[in-house]
Amino acid sequence: MPAVVATMSLSLDGIGAGVNQTEERPFGEVPEDALHRWMFETPDENRPEIDAIVDAGAFIMGRHMFGPVRGAWDRDWRGWWGPNPPYHAPVFVLTHYPRESIEMEGGTTFHFVTDGIHAALDRARDAAGDRDVHVAGGVSTTNAYLAAGLVDELALQISPSIIGGGLRLFDGIGPYRLEQISGRTTSLVTHVRYRVLPAEAAESA
């Protein structure tokens, strides 16, 4: 059965993004190279994991992952990634404000979902068919899916940095028990993949 996989880059102290995001600072008030240096400086040695991040039949992301626009859609923002985003599949963006879908180059279409995380997941599963659905972030969106028990696997890219403050993965979601599926260390990051065990396993641990 296709899985719901949450993917995220984070620091050793669990920070996946900073506060006060702007167009010039997509990840907020964190050093620009703290979380994604591995991806941009050493892409060849991390190629399997980079490819795996976008290997899904459909994606879900929060509005802040899509862009810095707040409130009503008062500008034609089309994401951080230029005219050809890396997803090449349907992407369902969680928002409180309706917007028409946006077709991009390369097969990516952004759909805007206003009726919550369950509705977004239903639509993503329908679009993905027999392929996995990836929850692509940001931190608040991933935590919401974890808290609702809707994530089957976690694929984490852990950078050797301590940020000290910001948006933290696992904040407020309660106990979880994970089973490690794989792990690999390269020069700038450790890649770890976990299976999320049922809630009763965490409660009995």
Q: What is the mean pLDDT of the chain?
A: 93
Compute φ and ψ for 150, nearest 5 degrees: -105, 5
Residues of the chain with pLDDT under 70: 199-205
Cα–Cα separations (whole angstroms), residue 41 to 47, 89, 152, 170, 189: 12, 26, 30, 28, 11
| Cα gap 186→200, rounded to integer Å | 34
8 A C-beta contact, residue 172 and residue 14 = no
User: Each residue of 146-172: pLDDT tens digit?
Assistant: 999 999 999 999 999 999 999 999 998
In one-letter notation, the amino acid at residue 199 is A
